[in-house]
Amino acid sequence: MHQLKRSAWLLLLLPLSVAIHCKKSADNNDVVAPADPATIKDSVIVTGLNFPWEILWGPDNHIWMTERGGRISRVNPATGTVTTVFTIPEVVTNGEGGLLGMALHPNFSATPYVYVVYNYNSSGGYREKIVRFTYTGTTLSNPFPLLENIAASSIHNGSRLLIIGDKLFVTTGDASNTALPQNTSSANGKILRLNLDGSIPADNPVAGNPYWSFGHRNPQGLVFANNILYASEHGPGNDDEVNIIEKGRNYGWPNVAGFCNETAELSFCTASNVKEPVKAWTPTIATAGLDYYNHDLIPQWKNSLLLATLKDARIYQLKLDNSFSAVTATAEYFTGKYGRMRDLCISGTGKVYICTSNGGNNDRIVEIGKQQ
């Protein structure tokens, strides 16, 4: 998440901080709002949660959820009942760290694997690992580590999981160390690609290396649609991003924030095969969970990315063009109504579910449907 500057530093460095804050104001692209914004109905279905981080629409028509403290639950969207599946004892919460992303095996009924990523303490300090569990029908068993000993911190841990076909994609943050994203020997500041058993695919950019793309600061959203992998990423004091992820590409951090539009950035981008974002925000909005909507239930949202934000405390609709590679219009919903929003998921019928990230056992899941 964003590193907040202390007021004293702002006073001492006012000319610099203003320059940073105002850098690349054109990055917002100033795209227009849709001509017919959606008329939708929202209602709270679950209360009393504590920092939910991932919500997934499961094949059992329940919402699968992680909370940062280590709990994995199933939520009945019809009743709001939350059933604890398992609490991972090894999880250590430190600042923004803890139990983060989750993914379910695509053939879950036959192969009931649950993949999670979380932070823990080891002899080397605070770390992150990816672990596969087996769902027994009531709880999780047989933890199998896929990748361990990833550097972690109280901020910038990523970490979203996504399964595409027979590959597992994982976003990792720079763990507060800006030397790591450009170092392809480090797993940090990357989007990683693994086989579902934790082995490294032979067709990754570098043999024996789990990275798929690099130069990331803190990506917290990941979705695959239209044969395109989209990711959302936290910038520093400027340039939150939505990116299209391509094999082996460099996304610039810490040498580039947002678009390649400053002298030093232009040189680095040319030399380093940097891929620019499709959308960037200055001031930052704290981009978090990302999904793709293409259902008839809310027709105004069709062919749109939906983005949850923390700092801006709203949902952004990012309407895509026919090539699915450019944002043509934006709309904003629920500004400040529910507080910070961490993630969202979409049911098979087109309803959207959002989880908040306010803490203090005051977090909720909100259901969004079509206004009757």
CA-to-CA separations, 16 to 23, 264, 298, 313, in angstroms, rounded: 10, 17, 44, 27
34, 26 Cβ separation under 8 angstroms? no
CA-to-CA separations, 229 to 74, 164, 191, 208, 292, in angstroms, rounded: 27, 9, 11, 22, 11
Question: Which helix (DSSP H) or strand (DSSP E) does residue 17 occupy?
Answer: helix 14-22
316, 330 Cβ separation under 8 angstroms? yes
Q: Which one-letter DSSP state was computed for residue 314?
A: S
Across-strand partners of 291? Answer: 306
Q: Is 40 helix (H, G, I), strand (E, B) or coil?
A: strand
Catalytic site includes residue 156: yes
Residue 9: phi and psi, rounded to 5, are -65, -35
The catalytically annotated residue of 2, 105, 156, 216 is: 156
Residues near 325 by beta carbon (within 8 Å), at least 6 away in sequence: 228, 244, 278
- Write the Ramachandran bin of 108: left for phi over 0, alpha for psi from -120 to 50, otherwise beta: alpha
239, 281 Cβ separation under 8 angstroms? yes
Two tokens at 5?
């500057």
Q: Is 331 helix (H, G, I), strand (E, B) or coil?
A: strand
Residues near 251 by beta carbon (within 8 Å), at least 6 away in sequence: 213, 214, 215, 216, 233, 241, 243, 274, 275
Q: Which residues are designated catalytic?
A: 156
